[in-house]
Amino acid sequence: MRISRYTQVSGSMRCFTMGSAVVTLAIAIALTSTGELLAQGIAEIEEGSPVLPSPTEDDFLSTDPNAAPLDEEDLESDVGEIRILSRPAQTPSQHQPPRQPNAQLLLRSSAFSSSNVAGSTLSPASDAVFVNQATLLLTPELGPNTRLIATAHGGLTRFATEGENNYNAFGVSVGVQQRLTPKTYGQIDWLNNQLFDANDGSRELTDNSARLIIGRQDQLDNRLRLDTAYELQARFTNPSDRSRISNTLGTRLRYDFSPDWQATLGYRFSMDDYTQNGRFDTAHQLQVSTTYVPSKNTFVSGYASYRFGHSSDATVQPENLSFGIGVGINIPLF
């Protein structure tokens, strides 16, 4: 049975998205279509849009493969390591974090299960999904508090049993991240994502999006950090029935057991207003994840996610339970 790529999908993928632009980009996804589902799963594994995620976390708001929050010490798992711009040193001796590479190649491989891969009441089905992705991430500084974030990524998504739904993805994004206060940042960007049928090469979906992110990180103690963020995204798709305005609020608590082992507990609430067909969805998502960073530019992660909500379309079922694992390598270029 073929699952429509345009049905509501409730995956949980974006786990490490790097501001992850590329990481984040690279990995994050959790949305309303099979492709979105994939992204969702990835995100959760790296959870993943271009801000700057940590090496063990996906963009906790986004569901696309490039988003993440802002820790100066984080190695974004999705998009690579896009740290929020560090504050200027007040004295020559003041400690400064290592310089953020201007260009990185992010390699991600992940697998996740979904209890309702199509997000549909008409054809509910569980499946396992495998994703491999490569992302080029560029993050040159434009000023002391401003950074350009640009990404280009390609990936392969394969389903264990629903092989007719296999697809390939390509995307690019460009945006600007601005430090607003020592703990807060803002980001605006444009993203283009395209999905192609892996069997015949036909284009399944084109998604152009404009996005605004406001995020904050609070270090509660030397091991505990609280991330909060708001995201507004306008998506213009072809076919047009996927076009929508999305509002998302998210919060994530991160605990560092050691310098190379972290765990997070997150919650996300989203509202999707579909502009072409009158559909309106609300969804809640709970996620727990853990990440191990054996070296500066590599990570291994795992997550569990539960998503539930309501849709004005009676054929859409947002409820989904997902588990995933992922590995990533960040290769600094210059």
Domains of the chain: 34-86+99-332 (2.40.160.40)
Instruction: Report pLDDT digits (tens) over 17-38.
Output: 333 332 332 333 333 333 344 3
CB 16 within 8 A of CB 58: yes
Beta bridge partners of 188: 176, 212
DSSP string for 47-92: B---S---TT---SS--SSS-----TT---SSS---PPPPPPPSST
Q: Which two tokens stand for residue 144?
A: 């002391």
CB 58 within 8 A of CB 2: no
pTM to 2 decimal places:
0.77
Per cent of the chain over pLDDT 70 is 69
Instruction: Report pLDDT digits (tens) over 107-138.
Output: 999 999 988 877 776 666 788 999 999 999 99
31 vs 178 pLDDT, higher one: 178
- Alpha helices (H) along the chain: 34-45
Per-residue pLDDT, 98 = 64
| pLDDT over threshold 70, residue 229 | yes
Angle, CA 217 vertex, CA 216 and CA 222 arms, to 5°:
170
Q: Which two tokens stand for residue 55?
A: 């090496």
Report d(CA 57, CA 60) in Å as an integer.
7
- DSSP-derived secondary structure letter, 165: G
Instruction: Report pLDDT digits (tens) over 134-158.
Output: 999 999 999 999 999 999 999 999 9
58 vs 246 pLDDT, higher one: 246
- DSSP-derived secondary structure letter, 99: P
Residue 64's Cβ-side half-sphere holds a number of Cα atoms within 13 Å equal to: 36
CA-closest candidate to residue 48, choices 164, 180, 203, 213: 213
The set of residues, in sequence order, having a beta carbon less than 8 Å from that of 213 and lying 6+ positions away, is: 49, 51, 61, 67, 186, 187, 188, 229, 230, 231
Q: Quickly tell me which residue has 């950090």 as its tokens.
A: 225
